C-alpha cells in the first residue's frame, strides 16, 4: 500500500493526509435562508451573544456514531479498493475491534464520555485543529487555498480596485466585530458561526511541536497590512474614530505604490517548513529589540492587501498568482489576504488552520457583490488632509536573518517548481443541464472526476470530498469517501463496449445515489474518518495499537489520491489548492449555471492529461444521459 512522505522525507500520519483534503464544504445557504424568521427555527436564541452568535450554545453537539455502524460503513468503503484476500484480512481486523469484549467498545465509551463532558463543546475540535493543521510541519503552501475574482471593468487601476475591495472588507469586518453578521443556515438549521472570530486581526504563529493562533483586539488594532515589493506597510483604516472612505484608501494605496522599493523578502520566511520558520522567527526577534514590535504590527493587522507587481491574464496565470505568488510579497500566516495585480486583476488567499472555506467564501461573495452592484457608498470623494502616510514596518535584517530569507526563497522555488497546475474551464454545460437531467450537480461532477481518473489510470483510488458539519457546535468538516462499489462499477461499464447505453446509465444513477447517501450521512456527523480518528486518539501511550489501525487498508483508504471539493460562485473564475499526497491530485471545482471549472494541481503527474480526461469524461456522461432520454427530452 502507498505510504505518503512529506518534502523532507518525514512520513505523514494518516490524520495529516486526511487533513489537507479537509478544505471546503462550500455550499452557502440561499440568501433567502439568511432572512429566515428565527421563530420558525427550533433553536433557542441567546440575545446576549448578539445576532451572529445567538444560536451557538443551542446547537447540538457533534455526535459519536454507533461503533457497529461505523465499522459497517468502513468495510463498505474499502471493499472496492481491496482484493478479496485483503478484504478478508481487513474484515477480521474490524470484527476483532468491535467484538463485545474488544478494545473498540472501551474506546467508544471514552469517546462518548468526552462528548458528554459539559466543558467540551465539540469532542473533535481541538484534536482536529491540532492534528490536521497546527501540528503539521510542512509549508502552509500545501494547506492554503485561493479564489480568483472576476475582472472589475470599472476599476482597472490597481489602487482603485484595492480601495473598493478594502472598503467592502471593512464593512464585513464591522459586522463580524460587532456580532451583527446574520448566521448562515442549512435549510432552516442555523450553523456554527464562531469560526468568524479567526478571520480578522489574527495570525498563525510558528512554534514547536504545534503552531498556535493569536487573536488581537479589533478596538486597539485598526490597520491594514499592505505589502508591495516585499516591503510591509501599516495603513490605518480608521483615523479619529472615522473609517477611511474609498477615496482616502485609494490615496493611501497610491502612496504605497509611490514609496515602495524592493526590500528583503521577509514574507518568504512564512513559506518555510514550520520548524525552520520557528527557528527563523527567533533569529528575527533577537536580531534587534525593535523587531518584536514590528512583528506585532504585522500579526495584529486586520487583514492583508498584497499589491503584486505581476499582470496575470490566463486562468492558470491567475491561479498561480493567488495560490502562491512569488513567495515573497505575502505573509502566509495571515488568514485573509487580498491580492491586487498591476493590471487590476484580483484574488484572495486564505490560511486554513482555524476555519474552513465557508467563512472566507462568504467574505469574498460579500465583497464582490457590493463592489459589482455598488450597494455600498464608494462615491465620497472627500479626502482628509491630515491622514497619516502609510508607515513602513521596519525590520533590522542581520546577515544571519538574511541567510534564512535566502534559504526560504530557495526552498519555496523548489516546492513550486515540483508542481504543475492546469485549469479546465469546461464550457459545454453546467448546473442548468445537470438539473434538467435530474441529477445532483455535486455528485454528477464527482462521477466526472472518478471517470477521468479511471481513464487515466485504469483503476479508481481513494478520493476525498469535504462535507460541512457546521450544524454542530464548533463544527468543521467530515470526509466523504467518493469511491464506492457503485462508482467503480460505473467507471468499468463506461469502458465496456458490450454494454448498451441504458445499462451504463442505470449504473451511473446508482453511483450518484450512493454518493448522495454518503454525503448526507457525513453532514450529520455519521461518517467514517473522524470517528475512527477520535477512537485512535484515545489510545494510551502504552496501549497496543489495534489491528484495524495497523492494517494497510486503513492507511491506504485514507491516502487521498484525489482531494476534491466544490464551491460555486458567479463572482469567481477559479479556486484551488495543492494535492494532499505526492502521488495524488488536488481537484477543486466550481459548478456554475453553464460551465464547470476544474483547478488541477499535482507534483508533475500529468495535470494536463487529467485536464484532458476531465473534459472527455464530462462529454461522455452528458452524451450517455442524453442518448437514453426519450427523443422529445433529448433536445435538452
Give the mean pLDDT of 560-564: 98
Give the mean pLDDT of 462-484: 97
pLDDT tens column, 565-584? 998 899 999 999 999 999 99
Active site residue 352: yes
Identify whether residues 382 and 430 lie together within a single domain: no
Residue 43 lies in a domain: no
Question: Which residue among 380, 398, 418 closes a domain?
Answer: 418
CATH number at residue 595: 3.30.559.10
The pLDDT-based confidence of 428 (bands split at 50, 70, 90) is very high
For residues 565 and 466, the answer to whether their CB atoms sit within 8 Å is: yes
Q: What SS3 state is found at 426?
A: strand
The span from the CA of 60 to the CA of 469, in Å, is: 11
The span from the CA of 633 to the CA of 404, in Å, is: 64
Task: Please check the confidence at residue 558 and state whether its pLDDT lies above 80.
Answer: yes
HSE value, Cβ hemisphere, 13 Å, CA-based, for 481: 28
The pLDDT-based confidence of 171 (bands split at 50, 70, 90) is very high
Give the mean pLDDT of 477-481: 97
Dihedral angle over CA of 612, 614, 617, 618, nearest 10: -120
Identify whether residues 495 and 622 lie together within a single domain: yes
The span from the CA of 56 to the CA of 236, in Å, is: 33
Residue 540 lies in a domain: yes
Identify whether residues 550 and 617 lie together within a single domain: yes
Give the lowest-confidence range in 204-208, 469-473, 495-499, 566-570: 566-570
Reference 185, options 439, 358, 65, 57; nearest CA is 358
Question: Which residue among 401, 418, 435 closes a domain?
Answer: 418
Task: Please check the confidence at residue 614 and state whether its pLDDT lies above 80.
Answer: yes
pLDDT score, position 510: 98
Identify whether residues 510 and 479 lie together within a single domain: yes
Give the mean pLDDT of 191-213: 97
pLDDT score, position 620: 98
The span from the CA of 479 to the CA of 465, in Å, is: 6
Task: Please check the confidence at residue 30 and state whether its pLDDT lies above 50.
Answer: no
pLDDT tens column, 36-53? 223 333 455 565 578 999
CATH number at residue 339: 3.30.559.70
**Helices and strands, counts by H and E, the chain:** 21, 20
Task: Please check the confidence at residue 11 and state whether its pLDDT lies above 70.
Answer: no
Q: Residue 118 class from Cβ within 10 Å (0-12 exposed, 13-18 middle, 19+ buried)?
A: exposed
Identify whether residues 539 and 622 lie together within a single domain: yes
What ranges make up the beta strands (E) of 217-373? 223-228, 231-236, 238-239, 242-243, 304-308, 337-341, 346-350
Q: Return the bridge partners of 146, or none.
A: 349, 576
Give how many domains the chain has, as a whole number.
Answer: 2
As a residue count, the chain comes to: 636
Domain membership of residue 488 as a residue range: 54-120+421-628
Task: Please check the confidence at residue 13 and state whether its pLDDT lies above 60.
Answer: no
Identify whether residues 414 and 429 lie together within a single domain: no
Identify whether residues 301 and 434 lie together within a single domain: no
Question: Which residue among 367, 387, 418 closes a domain?
Answer: 418
Give the lowest-confidence range in 22-26, 47-51, 83-87, 285-289: 22-26
Among candidate residues 273, 320, 324, 352, the one labeled active-site is 352
pLDDT score, position 24: 39
Residue 346 lies in a domain: yes
Identify whether residues 464 and 382 lie together within a single domain: no
Kindly report the number of other CB atoms within 10 A of residue 30's CB atom: 11
Amino acid at each position: 500500500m502507498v505510504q505518503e512522505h512529506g518534502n523532507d522525507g518525514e512520513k505523514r500520519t494518516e490524520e495529516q493526509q486526511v487533513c489537507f483534503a479537509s478544505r471546503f464544504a462550500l455550499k452557502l445557504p440561499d440568501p433567502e435562508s439568511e432572512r429566515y424568521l428565527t421563530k420558525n427555527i427550533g433553536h433557542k436564541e441567546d440575545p446576549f451573544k448578539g445576532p451572529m452568535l445567538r444560536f451557538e450554545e443551542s446547537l447540538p453537539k457533534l455526535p459519536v456514531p454507533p461503533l457497529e455502524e461505523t465499522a459497517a460503513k468502513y468495510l463498505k468503503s474499502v471493499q472496492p479498493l481491496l482484493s478479496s484476500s485483503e478484504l478478508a484480512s481487513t474484515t477480521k481486523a474490524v470484527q476483532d475491534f468491535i467484538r463485545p469484549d474488544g478494545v473498540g467498545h472501551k474506546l467508544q465509551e471514552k469517546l462518548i464520555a468526552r462528548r458528554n463532558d459539559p466543558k467540551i463543546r465539540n469532542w473533535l475540535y481541538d484534536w482536529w485543529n491540532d492534528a490536521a493543521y497546527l501540528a503539521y510541519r510542512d509549508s502552509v503552501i500545501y494547506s492554503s487555498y485561493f479564489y480568483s475574482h472576476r475582472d472589475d471593468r470599472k476599476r482597472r487601476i490597481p489602487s482603485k480596485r484595492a480601495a473598493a475591495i478594502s472598503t467592502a472588507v471593512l464593512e464585513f469586518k464591522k459586522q463580524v466585530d460587532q456580532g451583527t453578521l446574520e448566521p448562515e443556515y442549512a435549510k432552516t438549521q442555523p450553523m456554527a458561526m464562531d469560526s468568524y472570530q479567526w478571520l480578522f486581526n489574527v495570525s498563525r504563529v510558528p512554534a514547536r511541536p504545534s503552531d498556535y493562533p493569536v487573536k488581537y483586539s479589533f478596538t486597539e488594532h485598526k490597520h491594514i497590512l499592505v505589502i508591495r515589493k516585499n516591503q510591509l506597510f501599516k495603513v490605518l483604516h480608521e483615523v479619529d474614530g472615522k473609517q477611511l472612505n474609498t477615496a482616502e484608501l485609494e490615496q493611501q494605496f497610491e502612496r504605497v505604490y509611490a514609496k515602495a522599493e524592493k526590500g528583503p523578502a521577509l514574507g518568504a520566511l512564512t513559506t518555510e517548513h514550520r520548524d525552520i520558520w520557528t527557528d527563523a522567527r527567533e533569529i528575527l526577534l533577537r536580531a534587534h529589540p525593535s523587531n518584536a514590535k514590528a512583528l506585532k504590527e504585522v500579526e495584529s493587522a486586520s487583514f492583508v492587501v498584497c499589491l503584486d507587481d505581476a499582470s496575470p491574464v490566463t486562468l492558470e496565470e491567475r491561479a498561480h498568482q493567488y495560490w502562491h505568488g512569488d513567495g515573497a510579497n505575502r505573509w502566509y500566516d495571515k488568514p485573509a489576504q487580498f491580492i491586487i495585480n498591476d493590471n487590476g486583476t484580483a484574488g484572495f488567499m486564505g490560511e486554513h488552520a482555524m476555519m474552513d472555506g465557508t467563512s472566507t467564501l462568504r467574505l469574498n461573495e460579500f465583497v464582490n457583490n457590493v463592489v459589482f452592484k455598488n450597494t455600498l457608498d464608494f462615491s465620497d470623494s472627500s479626502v482628509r488632509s491630515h491622514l497619516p502616510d502609510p508607515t513602513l514596518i521596519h525590520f533590522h535584517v542581520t546577515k544571519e536573518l538574511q541567510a534564512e530569507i535566502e534559504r526560504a526563497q530557495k526552498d519555496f522555488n523548489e516546492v513550486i517548481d515540483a508542481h504543475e497546475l492546469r485549469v479546465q474551464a469546461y464550457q459545454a454545460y453546467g448546473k442548468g443541464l445537470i438539473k434538467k437531467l435530474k441529477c445532483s450537480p455535486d455528485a454528477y461532477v464527482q462521477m466526472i472526476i472518478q471517470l477521468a481518473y479511471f481513464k487515466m489510470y485504469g483503476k479508481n483510488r481513494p478520493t476525498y470530498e469535504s462535507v460541512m458539519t457546521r450544524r454542530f457546535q464548533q463544527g468543521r468538516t467530515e470526509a466523504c469517501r467518493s469511491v464506492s462499489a457503485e462508482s467503480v462499477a460505473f467507471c468499468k461499464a463506461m469502458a465496456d463496449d458490450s454494454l448498451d447505453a441504458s445499462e451504463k446509465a442505470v449504473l451511473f444513477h446508482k453511483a450518484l445515489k450512493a454518493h448522495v447517501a454518503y454525503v448526507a450521512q457525513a453532514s450529520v456527523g455519521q461518517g467514517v474518518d473522524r470517528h475512527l480518528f477520535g477512537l485512535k486518539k484515545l489510545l494510551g501511550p502504552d496501549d497496543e495499537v489495534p489491528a484495524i489501525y495497523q492494517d494497510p487498508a486503513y492507511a491506504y483508504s485514507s491516502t487521498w489520491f484525489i482531494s476534491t471539493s466544490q464551491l460555486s460562485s458567479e463572482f469567481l473564475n477559479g479556486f484551488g489548492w495543492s494535492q494532499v499526497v505526492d502521488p495524488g491530485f488536488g481537484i477543486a471545482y466550481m459548478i456554475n449555471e453553464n460551465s464547470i471549472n476544474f483547478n488541477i494541481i499535482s507534483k508533475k503527474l500529468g495535470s494536463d492529461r487529467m485536464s484532458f480526461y476531465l473534459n472527455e469524461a464530462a462529454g461522455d456522461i452528458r452524451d450517455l444521459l442524453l442518448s437514453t432520454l426519450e427523443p422529445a427530452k433529448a433536445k435538452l
